Chain A
Amino acid sequence: MLTLQVNGAAHQVDVPDDMPLLWVLRDVMGLPGTKFGCGIGQCGACTVHVDGKAVRACSLPVSLVGNRPVTTIEGLADDQVAAAVTKAWLDIDVVQCGYCQPGQIMAAVALLKGNLHPSDDEIDQAMSGNICRCGTYRRIRAAIRNVAGVV
């Protein structure tokens, strides 16, 4: 039995040590906002925060999470930067199919929390691990710039 700190609460889970955090969140804890895209850390759809840093939950064995706080898209509700990010996303209608967007938003929030005024290169660096097949990149970049202007 492992104890995980997810979205501000402690949860006990009985899962194999090598099980990636992604599947614990989705299939055991019932938090489907974090998405499965590739399983090898190539697409970023499964991005969550561990200790405030953006990590790929599909490639992180749950036993390595330890006591570090995990935040998923479902746990952003009370966060000021996250609220500004989701508003910026909605203001310019970033989403299309929307499947990659929880991961994109988690990556953007992590970026902006460390650096409220990222340069274009810094945005590219932080966001290029997240694939969007609908091709919303231009709007993601614009939304991140817009957040930097208001927070």
Chain B
Amino acid sequence: MAVGTIGISRRGALAGAGGLLMAAMLPRGRARAATRIVEDQTGPFAPNAFVRIAPDGSITLILPNVEMGQGIYTGEAMLIAEELDVGLDQIQIEPAPPDEAYVTKELGTEATGGSTSTIATWTSLREAGAVARTLLVRAAADRWVVDPASCQTGGGVVRHVPTGRTLTYGELAVEAAALPVPASPVALRDPSAFRLIGHAQHRLDGPAKVAGTATFGIDVQQPDMKIGTVAACPVMGGVLLHVDDSAARQVPGVRDVLTIGNAVCVVGDHYWAARKGLEALAISWDEGVNATVSTDTVYRELHEALQGPAIVAHTKGNAKGAIAGAATRVEAVYQQPLLAHAPMEPINCTVHVTPERCDVWVGTQVPMRARDAAAEVTGLPKEKVFLHNQYIGGGFGRRLEHEYVTQAVQFARQVGYPLKIVWSREEDLTMDRYRPAYVDHLVGGLDAHGNLVGLSHRIVGPAVVARWAPEALLPNGVDDDLLVATVETPYAIPAMFLDYARREAPGVVTAWWRGVGGTRGVFVIESFIDELAAKAKVDPVAFRRRMTTDHPRARAVLDLAAEKAEWGTKLPDGVGRGVALQYVFGSYLATVMEVEMSAMDTVRVRRAVVAVDCGRVVNPDQVISQIEGGLIFGLSAALFNEVTLEKGRVQEKNFNTYRILRMNESPAIEVHLIDSTEDPGGIGETGTAAAAAAVANAMAAATGRRYRRLPLTGPQA
């Protein structure tokens, strides 16, 4: 378990997500598997921040990443249970509280994102389980006065093999707690002996979720709790001038009308009273400087920056020279819109502030940040803020933000009762923090044989990292998230030049969105590779194949997807197949999408075939599930979604105008996993990253026309 246990190569780190490269900027210890949190010698056995065993036999696993659908509670419990040698039916699970012990070097804070969870915990959680098991065995051996090597474990019991004597983990908890935690790393199981890892396990959260008993943040109930709903200034940066609440206070069930600098909250006995009260307010805002911003403003600024100065982010060889001397020059500009997260569970947060303490019940991807925000607003010390993390009804990056926690605490500190803030869907969509719009310009040169000899690429758009983790912005001013899938590709590209013109979006706050740089970059690169192949008059799979000589894992997924999708077989008129190949989050994916076009902008996605090599797999069926769901999430955006602004106001307010892909529009999906003994890659965002390019390439194949602007069913330049 020496340095570098997690085993991410430089290449893996870069392609893994902005966050992984960020690791280099934020040196931190890995999750502290050896942190001892046991409080006294008679309490439960808690040799580290992830395992707690009580004398009554209860075994609790504390899981560092929050469950928002990705199956991480099950996967992380499998990692610990594998080495602790207990069954998944013997454990209870708990979300981690805000604590330094759960900070990973991948993200530099306690956070769930960037498809880093399994990568970050693959070793540390197995070690946590192994340390606990080692101490339990030692405690048993001490009691029996035998050699620990003569003991075995299984099902939460230590057994002395020669005599057959047994003790349960619970019976050993007090003695194990008194033993020193081993200073040097303990041995981990050989993968050939895995009982759980690599074998499909049912989701631990399944039964509660199908019974409707799982508690999401929005379901939190507290004694004497009241419910509030909010209207913030519809233009970002605007402030509240005046509110007339006389009519609102007449609405039956309305209890309070609260204000902060840029928002009003109506509190009622139930959401309906609060909502009716909010509608009865007469509010005047000072909308500020963003009141003239429109979508046109956003795109104009981006396109203008295709000319003029930019920061050189990456060079390899002499790309411009190679292109100038090439037989054929290929050029394209791609445009991607602002996107909302639109998770099914609208933003909510329940807060109870008293003079002594502050309790926050919320689903958050950033527990420490959320806690610190509450401490700052209330003036309480951090240890007096108690954050209770909840199941998240869809994250997709939205709950990497915590501004809604700040807002909820600002309102709740004005009242004595527990206050549950629930945003309407309209508030959720118009007050989101959005995936940025981007414009990319690519120029490629092909030699006489149709080989790519040089690629020149300019990216224009915001640097999300500059706000979210400013210390991780590269010294030259580049957001390394933009280099994902654009610099590190599965291809041998002899010469490359990439520069970046940073343009922050006016009128909105931009944020991480499922797939982050991978979603952005794969669309651009894989669309352009298709355009190059077309210009070279080479089949898109064959063109990619010959560029992947140095990347056998990439070639293997490409070949597998092509075979399973029957690539090359004849299709009816109006039907097309498209392929996308990617290496992001440390995983390889090849995706073949098949579409049927009844008009240039009327598309039905019939089938998606995905081949995946994500290294060692923890819970195979959940990997498949993430690819299926990630593809659907990406398809929804690629086909339909765009957030637009008029007079600084977001125009898409609910699911009637922000169209989500539905069951009748969703394709058949097949996912094929490649057996691999490489270290695990991330998987939760890979399907999303694949979707836009694969479907755009399929649409081009069906119609003979390129689709360079997202959403694909919107106007094309």
Contact = CB atoms under 8 A, between A and B. Distances in A.
A73 interface: yes
A98 interface: yes
Given A36-B271, A99-B216, A131 B655 contact: yes
B206 A93 contact: yes
Contacts of A102: 212
Contacts, number: 182
A139 B345 contact: no
Contacts of B213: 33, 74
Contacts of B669: 138
A100 interface: yes
Interface in B626-653: 628-633, 636
24 contacts: A16-B253, A23-B272, A30-B221, A35-B344, A36-B346, A40-B655, A42-B654, A42-B655, A42-B656, A73-B211, A90-B202, A93-B202, A96-B71, A97-B395, A98-B208, A98-B209, A98-B391, A99-B344, A100-B344, A125-B664, A131-B662, A132-B663, A135-B661, A137-B632
Nearest 4 CB-CB pairs, A to B? A135-B632, A33-B212, A99-B393, A98-B209
Contacts of A132: 344, 632, 663
Interface in A93-116: 93-102, 105
A99 B394 contact: yes
B659 to A, nearest CB: 10
Contact of B252 (A16, A37, A137): A16
A130 B666 CA distance: 13
Contacts of B661: 135
A9 B666 CA distance: 39
A134 B69 contact: yes
A127 B211 CA distance: 19
Interface in B647-681: 654-656, 660-666, 668-669
Nearest to B514: A133
A93 B344 contact: no
Given A93-B625, A100-B393, A137-B663, 13 more contacts: A16-B272, A16-B276, A36-B218, A93-B621, A95-B209, A96-B69, A97-B344, A101-B212, A130-B663, A133-B344, A133-B394, A134-B632, A138-B666
A75 B176 CA distance: 45
B503 interface: no
Contact of B660 (A16, A73, A99, A131): A131
A121 to B, nearest CB: 8
B422 A36 contact: yes
Contacts of A95: 69, 203, 205-206, 209-210
Query: Quick one: which of A89, A90, A105, A135 has the most chain B CB within 10 A?
Result: A135
B148 interface: no
B424 interface: yes
Given A16-B272, A73-B211, A128-B662, A98 B221 contact: no
A27 interface: yes
Contacts of A86: 210-211
Interface in A9-66: 15-16, 19-20, 23, 26-28, 30, 32-40, 42-43, 45
B161 interface: no
Contacts of B205: 95, 98
Nearest to A20: B272
B240 to A, nearest CB: 24
A80 to B, nearest CB: 16
Interface string B592-630: 000000000000000000000000000001100100111
A117 interface: no
Interface of A: 15-16, 19-20, 23, 26-28, 30, 32-40, 42-43, 45, 72-74, 86, 89-90, 93-102, 105, 123-125, 127-141
A119 B339 CA distance: 35
B208 to A, nearest CB: 8
A100 B393 CA distance: 8
Contact of B393 (A38, A42, A97): A97
A135 B221 contact: no
Q: Do most interface residues of chain A lie in helix, strand or loop, or is the interface mixed?
A: loop
Contacts of B654: 38-40, 42
A27 B206 contact: no
Contacts of B665: 128
Contacts of A139: 625, 628
B214 interface: yes
A134 B633 contact: yes
Contacts of A34: 212
A43 B655 contact: yes
B271 A23 contact: yes
B618 to A, nearest CB: 14
A97 to B, nearest CB: 3
A86 B202 CA distance: 14
B392 interface: yes
A84 B237 CA distance: 52
Contacts of A140: 663
B303 interface: no
A19 B272 contact: yes
A133 B633 contact: yes
B663 A128 contact: yes
A76 to B, nearest CB: 8
B425 A38 contact: yes
A104 to B, nearest CB: 9
Contacts of B227: 27
B662 A134 contact: no
Interface in B94-151: none
A72 B212 CA distance: 9
Nearest to A106: B212
Interface in B70-90: 70-71
Interface string B5-42: 00000000000000000000000000000000000000
A75 to B, nearest CB: 10
B270 to A, nearest CB: 4
A114 to B, nearest CB: 18
B68 interface: yes
Nearest to A143: B210
B664 A124 contact: yes
Contacts of A99: 216, 343-345, 393-394
A21 to B, nearest CB: 10
Contact of A97 (B218, B392, B663): B392
Interface string B421-455: 01011000000000000000000000000000000
B185 interface: no
B499 interface: no
A67 B219 CA distance: 27
A37 B662 CA distance: 15
Contacts of A100: 344, 393
A111 to B, nearest CB: 12
B422 A135 contact: no
Given A124-B663, A128-B664, A135 B216 contact: no
Contacts of B221: 30, 32
